[in-house]
Amino acid sequence: MRLLAGTTGPGSADRPDAVTVDGRTLSSEALLGAALAVAADVHGAATVAVDATPSLETVVAVVGGLLAGAAVVPVPSDAGPAERSHILDDSGASVVLDTVDVTRRSSISLPTPAPESPALIMYTSGTTGAPKGVVHTHASLEAGVDAVADAWDWTPDDRLVHGLPLFHVHGLVLGVLGALRAGSPLVHTRKPQPERYAAAGGTLYFGVPTVWSRICAQPAAARALSRARLLVSGSAALPVPVFERLRALTGHTPVERYGMTETLITISSRFDGARFPGDVGVPVRGVETRVEASDGDIGELWVRGPMLLRRYVHQPADLVDGWFRTGDIARKTPDGRHRIVGRASTDLIKSGGYRIGAGEVEDALLAHPAVREAAVIGTPHADLGEAVTAYVVVSPGAALGADDLVDFVARQLSVHKRPRVVHLVEALPRNAMGKVQKKRLGGPML
pLDDT at 278: 85
Q: Which 8-state DSSP code applies to residue 367?
A: T
Which residue, 297, 313, 341, sits at the end of a domain? Answer: 341
Cβ neighbour number for residue 277 with a 10 Å cutoff: 18
Number of domains in the chain: 2
Domain shared by 150 and 124, yes or no: yes
Contact (Cβ atoms closer than 8 angstroms) between residue 192 and residue 181: no
In the chain, DSSP finds a helix count (H) and a strand count (E) of 12, 25
Q: CA 387 to CA 351: how far, in whole Å? A: 6
Q: What is the pLDDT of residues 391-439, one digit of tens each?
A: 999 988 888 999 999 999 988 887 888 899 999 999 898 876 677 888 7
pLDDT band per the 50, 70, 90 thresholds, residue 386: confident
Closest CA to 328 of 306, 352, 359: 359
Shared domain check, 393 and 260 = no
Co-location of 186 and 223 in the same domain: yes
Note whether 213 and 284 are same-domain residues.
yes
CA-CA distances (angstroms) from residue 397 to 24, 73, 125, 267, 364? 42, 46, 35, 40, 21
| 241/158 same-domain check | yes
Distance in angstroms (rounded) separating the CA atoms of residues 1 and 64: 11
Which range of residues forms the domain containing residue 189? 2-341
Is the pLDDT assigned to residue 79 strictly greater than 90?
no
Mean pLDDT of 313-327: 92
SS3 label, residue 7:
helix
Q: What is the DSSP letter of 395?
A: -
User: Residue 6: its pLDDT value, please?
Assistant: 60
Residue pLDDT, tens place only, 264-307: 999 999 999 999 998 999 999 999 999 987 655 788 999 999 99
- Report if residue 207 sits inside a domain: yes
Please check whether residue 445 lies inside any domain of the structure. no
Of 70, 63, 68, the C-alpha closest to 6 is: 63
Domain match, 379 and 434 both: yes
Q: Are strands 288-292 and 255-260 parallel, antiparallel or unpaired?
A: unpaired
If DSSP codes are grouped into helix, strand and coil, which group holds residue 40?
Answer: helix
Compute the average pLDDT of residues 197-226: 95
Give every CB contact of residue 414 below 8 A, 6+ residues apart in sequence: none
Which has the closest alpha carbon to 174: 3, 310, 311? 3
Which of 318, 341, 364 is the endpoint of a domain? 341
Q: Does residue 31 fall inside a structural domain?
A: yes
Q: How far apart are CA 163 and CA 215, in angstroms?
A: 13
Indicate if 357 and 260 belong to the same structural domain: no
Instruction: Specify whether 326 is located in the same domain as 361.
Output: no
- Beta-sheet pairing, 71-76 with 47-52: parallel
* Gap between the Cα atoms of 115 and 233, Å rounded: 30
Instruction: Give the C-alpha separation, 396 to 345, whole Å.
Output: 32
* Same domain membership, residue 139 and residue 214: yes
The arrangement of strands across the sheet holding 311-312 comes to 95-97, 47-52, 71-76, 118-123, 133-137, 311-312
pLDDT at 337: 92
173/265 same-domain check: yes
For residue 386, give the amino acid letter. Answer: E
**Residue 355 exposed, middle or buried by CB count within 10 Å (0-12, 13-18, 19+):** middle
> What's the angle, vertex CA 436, arms to CA 434 and CA 438, rounded to 5?
160
The residue among 323, 341, 359 that closes a domain is 341
Whether residues 196 and 329 share a domain: the answer is yes
Lowest mean pLDDT among 121-130, 172-181, 212-221, 228-237: 121-130
Mean pLDDT of the chain: 90
102 lies in some domain:
yes
How far apart (Å, rounded) are the C-alpha atoms in residues 174 and 197?
A: 17
Share of the chain above pLDDT 70, in %: 92
Query: How many C-beta neighbours within 10 Å does residue 44 have?
Result: 10
Q: How do strand 71-76 and strand 282-283 relate by DSSP bridges? A: unpaired
Gyration radius (Cα) of the chain, Å: 22
How would DSSP label each residue in 319-354? EETTEEEEEEEEEE-TTS-EEEEEETTTTEEEETTE
Beta bridge mates, 125: none
Looking at residue 371, its pLDDT comes to: 92
Residues in the chain: 446
Q: Is 122 left (phi over 0), alpha (psi -120 to 50) or beta?
A: beta
> What average pLDDT does range 183-202 have in this prediction?
96
Q: Span 93-101, mean pLDDT?
A: 95
What CATH number has the domain bearing residue 73? 3.40.50.12780
Helix-helix angle 402-412:358-366, to 10 degrees = 110
Q: Which of 69-83, 245-259, 289-303, 415-429 has the lowest mean pLDDT?
A: 289-303
Do 289 and 389 share a domain, yes or no? no
